[in-house]
Structure 1
Amino acid sequence: MKLFLQWTTLIPLLAWGLFFSGLIHESGVFQMVAGILLILSVMSAVHHSEVIAHRVGEPFGTIILAVAITVIEVSIIISLMISGGERTSVLARDTVFSATMLILNGIVGLCLFIGGLKFHEQIFSKHSATIALVSLVSIIILTLIFPTFTTSIQGPYYSTPQLIFVSVACLVIYGFFLFAQTKRHREYFLSTTEEDEPAGVQVTNKVFAMSLAILILSLGIVVLLAKTLSPTIESVIISYDLPKALVGVIIAAVILLPEGIAAIIAVRNNQLQTSLNLALGSALASIGLTIPCVAVVSGMLNMNLILGLDIKSIILLGLSVFTVMLSLASGRTNIIYGVVLLVNLAAFIFLIIHP
């Protein structure tokens, strides 16, 4: 435990040192090292977020990780918007859309598949899934679908009053979801096996403070390294004649890696409820907090913010949401649900490469 804690403490510090050394811009070798340190920093963030979650308890631990990951997402999008100007006006939409598809099909699908493979059938609170999915469907339609069909402005844009309304609506829905998760209906979001588990190692105030500090350092360097390496990723994608939309998928995948790992660890320990709290809470935070933030930045930069999806993407998104709703409707899962969701994810990526 101590060795792992030391390892997860050392890696972010090495990553910060490499970033400030300026060597990343010198050669491709240092960029590869930076990429490795980025992934390891993500794993460090996962470890320290688990320590914090153990201290504060559920569902607060999953909320902390979801909000932390959203901070990464917002920071990367805003920094790229500021540096890239008008050409990055679709970045928020592409990243949020990709994150939603990766969460609903990838993280949820993988958790259902692994859980079904190991335990045949797992149970969870269908009330928690219903609360999360009702909130998610509303936010998705308001942010990613309606802009394609509104008529105040030509194109997949919202007018300023519309963007303000939608931003406030997202914050209201997400705020009341957190209220339900932490206060009014907290029991829905607790693992059914939580009361039967031993208390485990107690997290002292010193360990808690250290984990919180290293978590912030890890998330910060992930943002900076992702921003630094994004032009390289984009140039590699273009050199292979692949669509630039893959950049948003890759950024979203890096951002969601901590939650994906944490969700898989939880489901392997037969805690599917924790995995679903992570996945669905992350999807809500990803859209419900990111869109209002980038709306403010786009207004400050006087930039048109493209939010509306095309018809093909709307159909894929609708398929994903509908499949997840059916998969989580009964409170019991099996391997078939996971397979179908993973096939949906494969279709999403395949249709980006071969539209």
Structure 2
Amino acid sequence: MRVMVRFCTRYWSVIVPLLAALVLAASWGRHLGPILVTIVTLALVGAVLAAVHHAETVAHRVGEPFGSLILAVAVTIIEVGLIVTLMISSGEKAASLARDTVFAAVMITCNGIFGLSLLVGALRRRVAVFNAEGTGAALATVATLATFTMVLPTFTTSEPGPVFSGAQLAFAAVASLVLYGVFVMVQTVRHPDDFLPVEATAGLGGGAAGIAGGSAAADEDEHDEPPSARRALISLGLLLVALVGVVGLAKTVSPSIESGIAAAGLPQSAVGVVIALLVLLPETIAAVRSARRDRVQISLNLALGSAMASIGLTIPAIALASIWIKGPLELGLGSNQIVLLALTVVVGALTVVPGRATLLQGCVHLVLFSGFVFLAVSP
């Protein structure tokens, strides 16, 4: 028995994706009772955790800032798959699902993960230090993408309602891809140093000894031997299996999620929040781990990179899928959502400019995230 427990503990990241694939094959196309829903949900959560583990392994092999980019793209693939499958299965009821999910992803990353990373970093050595140039550039890109794709549709007049016309949607999709592509080039080729962790000085923390200990921990983690090419390739394959499992299991369990939300009397937009929370669980875990290792910049790269990928890749994919999916595609935000987005951008800019943050900034972002969740449940 002990040998079996040790084996499962050691090789869980290999076992879980394969189990998720088996559960998917066994449950595909079947009506799920309470027991099957529980099994599928557990397999889904396990597949998400396995996906982040293997994405981190591949990221460690290629190094930063490519590592953060790999994890962000992997998570976005999951998000696009979930949105498209739900839009196909739900029809016109899912007209605003893409908007709700992407906006929830922006609020979760720019307030939830962002604030949690700053809070953990500040708790570790009183002040969380990061690179203002790279983080500011990422925040500006997120703000522009969000405005182009989710604010402007509310005010355009070519189509009734918060909907883009065909030409407008095509322009927004191309602009999103261009902005995301340029940012990736800047992050990985032109100015990669702007997105690497920075060291704190003795005057910023709770004494030189505390900072030296934090830096030592960060250096130790930074200089860990990267995995071999063989291990990275195995992790890449298992990552693909885990991603397929996540998308397939989420499609299988999605009717149960929707019926549960309806039975609880929650608005339809709560479905998008649930999807975004599930999809961004890997990013949250990875960001907290990095913040605990005094690598706050990596945490912020993950947060803002995920927000950027969520808009810059999801919206073009949904725009392309809308050619085959019947029904309108509502992208425009409501008034309370626009206010939350504007407040997030302003507060985020004020947080980023100094290049350092305390507990206060982390708590401010977390309160904004709490307000978003509350208004999503009780609009």
How would you bin the TM-score normalised by the shorter chain? over 0.9
> Does residue 50 in structure 1 map to residue 56 in structure 2?
yes
- The one-character-per-residue Cα deviations of 1:229-258 (angstroms, maximum 9, x if unpaired) are 111111111112121211110100000001
* Contact 2:86 2:251 (8 Å CA) reproduced: yes
> Does residue 18 in structure 1 map to residue 23 in structure 2?
yes
SS in 2 for 1:300: coil
Structure-to-structure mapping, 1:142-153, within 5 angstroms: 142-153=148-159
- 1:348 and 1:254 map into 2 onto residues whose CA distance is 16
Which of 112, 122, 129 does residue 116 from structure 1 map onto?
122
Aligned to 1:238: 262
Q: Which amino acid aligns with 1:167?
A: A
- 1:192 positional shift: 2.6
- 1:103 and 1:53 map into 2 onto residues whose CA distance is 19
Structure-to-structure mapping, 1:185-196, within 5 angstroms: 185-192=191-198, 196=219
Q: Which amino acid aligns with 1:316?
A: L
Aligned to 2:368: 344
> Does residue 80 in structure 1 map to residue 86 in structure 2?
yes
> Does residue 299 in structure 1 map to residue 323 in structure 2?
yes
- Structure possessing the higher radius of gyration over alpha carbons: 2
Aligned to 1:209: 233
- 1:353 and 1:179 map into 2 onto residues whose CA distance is 38
Structure 2 CA distance for partners of 1:283 and 1:2, relative to 1, 3 Å: farther
Which of 357, 365, 370 does residue 333 from structure 1 map onto?
357
TM-score, normalization by structure 1: 0.96
Provide the aligned length of Structure 1 versus Structure 2: 355
Unaligned stretches of 5+ in structure 1? none
- 2:10 and 2:231 map into 1 onto residues whose CA distance is 10
Unaligned stretches of 5+ in structure 2? 1-5, 200-214
Q: Which amino acid aligns with 1:118?
A: R
Aligned to 2:347: 323
> Does residue 179 in structure 1 map to residue 203 in structure 2?
no
Q: Which amino acid aligns with 1:124?
A: F
- The one-character-per-residue Cα deviations of 1:113-142 (angstroms, maximum 9, x if unpaired) are 111122210211100011111111111110
SS in 1 for 2:11: helix
- 1:152 positional shift: 0.8
> Does residue 30 in structure 1 map to residue 36 in structure 2?
yes
Structure-to-structure mapping, 1:242-261, within 5 angstroms: 242-261=266-285
- 1:41 positional shift: 1.3
Structure 2 CA distance for partners of 1:188 and 1:238, relative to 1, 3 Å: same
- 1:313 and 1:234 map into 2 onto residues whose CA distance is 22
Which of 99, 104, 116 does residue 105 from structure 2 map onto?
99
> Does residue 137 in structure 1 map to residue 143 in structure 2?
yes
Q: Which amino acid aligns with 1:17?
A: L
Q: Which amino acid aligns with 2:333?
A: L
Q: Which amino acid aligns with 2:131?
A: S
Aligned to 1:128: 134
Aligned to 2:290: 266
Q: Which amino acid aligns with 2:303?
A: A
Structure 2 CA distance for partners of 1:202 and 1:147, relative to 1, 3 Å: closer
RMSD: 1.8
Which of 9, 26, 51 does residue 14 from structure 2 map onto?
9
Percentage of identical aligned residues:
44
- The one-character-per-residue Cα deviations of 1:167-207 (angstroms, maximum 9, x if unpaired) are 11101110100010001111101123599445323411221
- The one-character-per-residue Cα deviations of 1:286-338 (angstroms, maximum 9, x if unpaired) are 00110011011112335321000111110011112211111111100111111
* Contact 1:25 1:31 (8 Å CA) reproduced: no
Runs of 4 or more, structure 1, over 4 Å off, are 1-5, 193-198
TM-score, normalization by structure 2: 0.90
